[in-house]
């Protein structure tokens, strides 16, 4: 799925204009990029982003150097089991 497909799906599900959904989606993605850059984790009721830095590696025999990389691992937040009904 790409951004356009995501925008189309969310716009259809929420009955919001696609332009507005796109603007909000890009703002969220910019914030996620900032969190990754600052190595700050993110927790929501749906997902958890854990920021990680892969250290730089020097060049070795036949392999070029790899610069430091910042990325995030995304995981689905586990749902809490519903409390039993009082009877």
3-60 residue pLDDT tens: 999 999 999 999 999 999 999 999 999 999 999 999 999 999 999 999 999 999 999 9
- Residue 79 above 60 pLDDT? yes
Beta-bridge partners for 48: 43, 75
Q: pTM for this structure?
A: 0.79
Q: What is the mean pLDDT of the chain?
A: 94
- Residue 82 above 90 pLDDT? no
Quote the CA–CA distance of 53 and 84 in Å, as a whole number: 42
Burial 25-53 (b: 16+ CB within 10 A, else e): eeeeeeeeeeebeeeeeeeeeeeebebee
Looking at residue 43, its pLDDT comes to 96
Q: Residue 50 has which token pair?
A: 């854990």
Q: Which domains, from first to last, does the chain contain? A: 3-57+67-76 (4.10.520.10)
Q: What stretches of 15-81 show up as alpha helix (H) in DSSP?
A: 18-37
């Amino acid at each position: 799925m790409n951004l356009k497909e995501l925008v189309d799906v969310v716009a259809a599900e929420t009955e919001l204009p696609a332009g507005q959904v796109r603007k909000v989606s890009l703002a969220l993605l910019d914030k996620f990029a900032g969190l990754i850059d600052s190595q700050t984790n993110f927790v929501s009721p749906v997902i958890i982003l854990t920021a990680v830095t892969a250290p730089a590696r020097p060049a070795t025999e036949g392999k070029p150097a790899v610069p430091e990389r910042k990325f995030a691992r995304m995981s689905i937040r586990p749902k809490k089991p519903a409390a039993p009904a009082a009877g």
